[in-house]
Amino acid sequence: MMTVPDLQRRKRDKKKLIVVTAYDALFARLLEQAGIEAMLVGDSLGVVVQGKSNTLSVTMEDMLYHTKLVTGAAQQSLVIGDMPFMSYQASKEDALRNAGRFLQAGAHAVKLEGGRAMADRIQAMTEVGIPVFGHLGMTPQSVNQYGGYKVQGKSAERAQTLVSDAKALEEAGAVAIVLEAMPASLAKTMTEQLTIPTIGIGAGPHCDGQVLVLYDLLGLFDEFVPKFVKPYAHLRADALQALRRYKEEVEQGKFPSESESYH
Ligand code: KIV
Protein backbone atom coordinates (compact mmCIF):
# COMPACT_ATOMS: atom_id res chain seq x y z
CA MET A 1 0.00 0.00 0.00
CA MET A 2 1.50 3.30 -1.10
CA THR A 3 1.12 6.06 1.52
CA VAL A 4 1.86 9.78 1.45
CA PRO A 5 5.10 9.34 3.48
CA ASP A 6 6.16 6.54 1.07
CA LEU A 7 5.56 8.88 -1.84
CA GLN A 8 7.61 11.60 -0.19
CA ARG A 9 10.49 9.21 0.56
CA ARG A 10 10.78 8.51 -3.16
CA LYS A 11 12.39 11.90 -3.69
CA ARG A 12 15.12 11.14 -1.17
CA ASP A 13 15.57 7.64 -2.62
CA LYS A 14 15.64 9.07 -6.18
CA LYS A 15 12.99 6.57 -7.27
CA LYS A 16 10.54 8.01 -9.81
CA LEU A 17 6.91 8.44 -8.81
CA ILE A 18 4.44 7.25 -11.38
CA VAL A 19 0.92 8.66 -11.33
CA VAL A 20 -1.91 8.11 -13.80
CA THR A 21 -5.44 9.50 -13.72
CA ALA A 22 -8.33 7.10 -13.10
CA TYR A 23 -12.06 7.73 -13.20
CA ASP A 24 -13.67 4.32 -12.73
CA ALA A 25 -13.29 0.90 -11.15
CA LEU A 26 -12.30 -0.98 -14.31
CA PHE A 27 -9.30 1.22 -15.02
CA ALA A 28 -8.37 1.53 -11.33
CA ARG A 29 -7.97 -2.26 -11.25
CA LEU A 30 -6.05 -2.25 -14.53
CA LEU A 31 -3.68 0.43 -13.26
CA GLU A 32 -2.97 -1.61 -10.13
CA GLN A 33 -2.33 -4.72 -12.22
CA ALA A 34 0.21 -2.68 -14.16
CA GLY A 35 1.95 -1.70 -10.90
CA ILE A 36 0.88 1.96 -10.92
CA GLU A 37 0.95 2.99 -7.26
CA ALA A 38 -0.76 6.36 -7.29
CA MET A 39 -3.96 7.42 -9.05
CA LEU A 40 -5.32 10.89 -9.52
CA VAL A 41 -9.07 11.20 -9.92
CA GLY A 42 -8.50 14.27 -12.07
CA ASP A 43 -11.03 16.92 -12.95
CA SER A 44 -9.76 16.25 -16.48
CA LEU A 45 -12.76 13.91 -16.44
CA GLY A 46 -14.75 17.01 -17.43
CA VAL A 47 -13.00 16.83 -20.80
CA VAL A 48 -12.25 13.16 -21.38
CA VAL A 49 -15.36 11.62 -19.78
CA GLN A 50 -17.95 14.40 -19.88
CA GLY A 51 -16.94 15.79 -23.27
CA LYS A 52 -16.63 19.43 -22.21
CA SER A 53 -14.03 21.79 -23.65
CA ASN A 54 -12.54 22.57 -20.23
CA THR A 55 -12.75 21.49 -16.58
CA LEU A 56 -14.66 24.46 -15.20
CA SER A 57 -18.12 22.90 -15.03
CA VAL A 58 -17.04 19.83 -13.07
CA THR A 59 -18.81 19.71 -9.69
CA MET A 60 -17.98 18.25 -6.30
CA GLU A 61 -20.76 15.70 -6.85
CA ASP A 62 -19.14 14.59 -10.15
CA MET A 63 -15.77 14.30 -8.47
CA LEU A 64 -17.07 12.39 -5.45
CA TYR A 65 -18.94 9.95 -7.69
CA HIS A 66 -15.80 9.10 -9.66
CA THR A 67 -13.62 9.12 -6.54
CA LYS A 68 -15.88 6.49 -4.96
CA LEU A 69 -15.67 4.33 -8.09
CA VAL A 70 -11.88 4.43 -7.92
CA THR A 71 -11.47 4.03 -4.16
CA GLY A 72 -13.97 1.18 -4.20
CA ALA A 73 -11.74 -0.75 -6.57
CA ALA A 74 -8.18 0.31 -5.74
CA GLN A 75 -6.62 -1.79 -3.01
CA GLN A 76 -2.96 -0.82 -2.91
CA SER A 77 -2.76 2.60 -4.47
CA LEU A 78 -2.64 6.08 -3.13
CA VAL A 79 -5.76 7.83 -4.45
CA ILE A 80 -5.67 11.61 -4.86
CA GLY A 81 -8.94 13.49 -5.34
CA ASP A 82 -8.79 16.59 -7.52
CA MET A 83 -10.67 19.57 -6.11
CA PRO A 84 -12.90 21.03 -8.84
CA PHE A 85 -13.27 24.69 -9.77
CA MET A 86 -14.91 26.77 -7.01
CA SER A 87 -14.72 24.03 -4.41
CA TYR A 88 -11.78 25.78 -2.69
CA GLN A 89 -11.23 29.21 -4.24
CA ALA A 90 -13.90 31.22 -2.40
CA SER A 91 -12.83 30.54 1.17
CA LYS A 92 -10.64 28.50 3.45
CA GLU A 93 -13.77 27.04 5.04
CA ASP A 94 -15.12 25.82 1.66
CA ALA A 95 -11.74 24.33 0.90
CA LEU A 96 -11.56 22.49 4.21
CA ARG A 97 -15.09 21.07 4.07
CA ASN A 98 -14.79 19.96 0.46
CA ALA A 99 -11.36 18.41 0.99
CA GLY A 100 -12.85 16.47 3.89
CA ARG A 101 -15.57 15.10 1.59
CA PHE A 102 -12.90 13.61 -0.68
CA LEU A 103 -11.34 11.81 2.27
CA GLN A 104 -14.78 10.58 3.33
CA ALA A 105 -15.14 9.18 -0.20
CA GLY A 106 -11.99 7.15 0.38
CA ALA A 107 -9.29 9.37 -1.15
CA HIS A 108 -6.01 9.60 0.74
CA ALA A 109 -5.15 13.13 -0.35
CA VAL A 110 -6.48 16.03 -2.42
CA LYS A 111 -4.98 18.24 -5.09
CA LEU A 112 -5.73 21.89 -5.76
CA GLU A 113 -4.47 24.38 -8.31
CA GLY A 114 -2.79 27.70 -7.59
CA GLY A 115 0.11 29.50 -5.98
CA ARG A 116 0.70 31.59 -2.88
CA ALA A 117 -2.99 32.58 -2.63
CA MET A 118 -3.79 28.94 -1.83
CA ALA A 119 -1.23 28.64 0.98
CA ASP A 120 -3.77 29.32 3.75
CA ARG A 121 -6.06 26.56 2.38
CA ILE A 122 -3.17 24.12 2.28
CA GLN A 123 -2.09 25.02 5.80
CA ALA A 124 -5.61 24.62 7.18
CA MET A 125 -6.00 21.19 5.55
CA THR A 126 -2.57 20.07 6.67
CA GLU A 127 -3.34 21.09 10.26
CA VAL A 128 -6.36 18.76 10.33
CA GLY A 129 -4.55 15.85 8.70
CA ILE A 130 -5.56 16.18 5.05
CA PRO A 131 -2.56 15.71 2.75
CA VAL A 132 -2.59 18.23 -0.11
CA PHE A 133 -0.90 18.15 -3.50
CA GLY A 134 -0.28 21.54 -5.10
CA HIS A 135 -0.50 22.18 -8.85
CA LEU A 136 1.46 24.96 -10.59
CA GLY A 137 2.26 26.08 -14.13
CA MET A 138 -0.47 25.70 -16.71
CA THR A 139 -3.30 25.14 -14.25
CA PRO A 140 -6.35 24.27 -16.39
CA GLN A 141 -8.89 25.95 -14.09
CA SER A 142 -7.23 29.29 -15.00
CA VAL A 143 -7.53 28.69 -18.77
CA ASN A 144 -9.52 31.90 -19.25
CA GLN A 145 -6.83 33.96 -17.59
CA TYR A 146 -4.14 32.41 -19.81
CA GLY A 147 -6.24 32.79 -22.98
CA GLY A 148 -5.86 29.09 -23.79
CA TYR A 149 -3.77 26.09 -22.76
CA LYS A 150 -0.38 27.79 -23.01
CA VAL A 151 3.01 26.87 -21.62
CA GLN A 152 3.73 28.92 -18.48
CA GLY A 153 6.96 30.25 -16.98
CA LYS A 154 8.74 31.19 -20.18
CA SER A 155 9.56 34.73 -19.08
CA ALA A 156 12.10 35.21 -16.29
CA GLU A 157 9.53 37.10 -14.22
CA ARG A 158 6.82 34.41 -14.46
CA ALA A 159 9.42 31.71 -13.80
CA GLN A 160 10.48 33.53 -10.63
CA THR A 161 6.85 33.78 -9.48
CA LEU A 162 6.37 30.06 -10.02
CA VAL A 163 9.50 29.22 -8.00
CA SER A 164 8.34 31.44 -5.16
CA ASP A 165 4.79 29.98 -5.36
CA ALA A 166 6.25 26.49 -5.11
CA LYS A 167 8.18 27.45 -1.97
CA ALA A 168 5.04 29.00 -0.46
CA LEU A 169 3.11 25.77 -1.07
CA GLU A 170 5.89 23.71 0.46
CA GLU A 171 6.02 25.99 3.53
CA ALA A 172 2.23 25.70 3.90
CA GLY A 173 2.57 21.92 4.11
CA ALA A 174 1.90 20.62 0.58
CA VAL A 175 3.10 17.02 0.32
CA ALA A 176 4.03 17.25 -3.38
CA ILE A 177 3.46 19.60 -6.32
CA VAL A 178 2.24 18.81 -9.84
CA LEU A 179 4.10 20.95 -12.40
CA GLU A 180 2.20 21.31 -15.67
CA ALA A 181 3.33 22.63 -19.07
CA MET A 182 6.44 24.62 -18.27
CA PRO A 183 10.02 24.64 -19.58
CA ALA A 184 12.00 21.61 -18.44
CA SER A 185 14.77 23.86 -17.09
CA LEU A 186 12.30 25.66 -14.79
CA ALA A 187 10.85 22.37 -13.51
CA LYS A 188 14.43 21.21 -12.86
CA THR A 189 15.17 24.31 -10.77
CA MET A 190 11.94 23.85 -8.82
CA THR A 191 12.66 20.17 -8.27
CA GLU A 192 16.14 21.00 -6.95
CA GLN A 193 14.95 23.79 -4.68
CA LEU A 194 12.06 21.89 -3.08
CA THR A 195 12.30 19.18 -0.46
CA ILE A 196 8.88 17.80 -1.47
CA PRO A 197 8.50 15.80 -4.71
CA THR A 198 7.51 17.38 -8.01
CA ILE A 199 5.31 15.43 -10.40
CA GLY A 200 5.56 16.67 -13.96
CA ILE A 201 3.14 16.72 -16.86
CA GLY A 202 4.70 18.56 -19.76
CA ALA A 203 7.46 19.70 -17.42
CA GLY A 204 10.38 17.66 -18.74
CA PRO A 205 12.36 14.71 -17.38
CA HIS A 206 13.88 16.21 -14.23
CA CYS A 207 10.79 16.06 -12.01
CA ASP A 208 10.64 13.51 -9.20
CA GLY A 209 7.71 11.81 -10.91
CA GLN A 210 5.40 11.97 -13.89
CA VAL A 211 1.64 12.00 -14.33
CA LEU A 212 -0.42 11.56 -17.49
CA VAL A 213 -4.12 11.58 -18.24
CA LEU A 214 -5.07 7.91 -18.70
CA TYR A 215 -7.06 8.40 -21.91
CA ASP A 216 -4.18 10.36 -23.47
CA LEU A 217 -1.66 7.69 -22.49
CA LEU A 218 -3.86 4.99 -24.05
CA GLY A 219 -4.53 6.97 -27.22
CA LEU A 220 -8.24 6.91 -26.41
CA PHE A 221 -8.78 10.65 -26.45
CA ASP A 222 -7.37 12.33 -29.53
CA GLU A 223 -9.45 15.50 -29.90
CA PHE A 224 -6.70 17.60 -28.38
CA VAL A 225 -3.28 16.05 -27.90
CA PRO A 226 -0.72 18.35 -26.26
CA LYS A 227 2.95 18.07 -27.27
CA PHE A 228 3.79 16.45 -23.92
CA VAL A 229 1.51 13.44 -24.44
CA LYS A 230 2.99 10.16 -25.58
CA PRO A 231 0.29 7.66 -26.57
CA TYR A 232 1.51 4.23 -25.48
CA ALA A 233 -1.41 2.57 -27.28
CA HIS A 234 -3.97 3.52 -29.90
CA LEU A 235 -7.18 2.35 -28.26
CA ARG A 236 -9.42 4.82 -30.07
CA ALA A 237 -8.42 3.37 -33.43
CA ASP A 238 -8.82 -0.19 -32.06
CA ALA A 239 -12.25 0.62 -30.62
CA LEU A 240 -13.42 2.20 -33.86
CA GLN A 241 -12.27 -0.80 -35.85
CA ALA A 242 -14.00 -3.21 -33.44
CA LEU A 243 -17.27 -1.28 -33.56
CA ARG A 244 -17.22 -1.11 -37.38
CA ARG A 245 -16.51 -4.85 -37.63
CA TYR A 246 -19.34 -5.67 -35.21
CA LYS A 247 -21.79 -3.56 -37.26
CA GLU A 248 -20.62 -5.14 -40.49
CA GLU A 249 -20.85 -8.71 -39.16
CA VAL A 250 -24.38 -8.23 -37.79
CA GLU A 251 -25.45 -6.71 -41.11
CA GLN A 252 -23.90 -9.63 -43.01
CA GLY A 253 -25.41 -12.26 -40.69
CA LYS A 254 -21.94 -13.42 -39.55
CA PHE A 255 -22.56 -12.55 -35.89
CA PRO A 256 -23.75 -14.29 -33.83
CA SER A 257 -22.42 -17.53 -35.26
CA GLU A 258 -22.88 -21.07 -33.93
CA SER A 259 -20.22 -20.54 -31.26
CA GLU A 260 -22.00 -17.51 -29.81
CA SER A 261 -25.43 -19.25 -29.80
CA TYR A 262 -27.04 -21.50 -27.13
CA HIS A 263 -28.27 -24.96 -28.11
O1 KIV B 1 -7.16 16.78 -13.87
C2 KIV B 1 -6.11 16.16 -14.11
O3 KIV B 1 -6.12 15.06 -14.68
C4 KIV B 1 -4.86 16.77 -13.70
C5 KIV B 1 -3.59 16.20 -14.23
C6 KIV B 1 -3.46 16.55 -15.65
C7 KIV B 1 -2.42 16.59 -13.45
O8 KIV B 1 -4.87 17.73 -12.98
Stated pTM of the model: 0.97
Q: Which of 50, 178, 214, 225 to mutate to test the pocket of ligand 1 (most atoms within 8 A of CB)?
A: 178
Active site (catalytic) residues:
180
Query: One-letter amino acid identity for 157?
Result: E
Show pLDDT as tens, one digit a residue, over the chain (263 residues): 999 999 999 999 999 999 999 999 999 999 999 999 999 999 999 999 999 999 999 999 999 999 999 999 999 999 999 999 999 999 999 999 999 999 999 999 999 999 999 999 999 999 999 999 999 999 999 999 999 999 999 999 999 999 999 999 999 999 999 999 999 999 999 999 999 999 999 999 999 999 999 999 999 998 888 999 999 999 999 999 999 999 999 999 999 999 999 99
Q: Which of 57, 85, 213 to mutate to test the pocket of ligand 1 (most atoms within 8 A of CB)?
A: 213
Rounded-to-integer distance, Cα 81 and Cα 198, Å: 17
Q: Which tens digits make up the pLDDT trace of 53-74? A: 999 999 999 999 999 999 999 9
Q: What ligand 1 atom has the least distance to the C-alpha of 19?
A: 7
Written as one string, the DSSP assignment of 67-104 is: HHHHHHH-SSSEEEEEPPTTSSSS-HHHHHHHHHHHHH
Ligand 1 centre distance from Cα of residue 42 (Å):
5
Minimum CA distance residue for ligand 1 atom 4: 42
Residue ranges of the domains in the chain?
Answer: 4-232, 234-263
Q: 201 CB under 6 A from ligand 1?
A: yes
> What CATH number is given for 4-232 in this structure?
3.20.20.60
Rounded-to-integer distance, Cα 79 and Cα 28, Å: 10
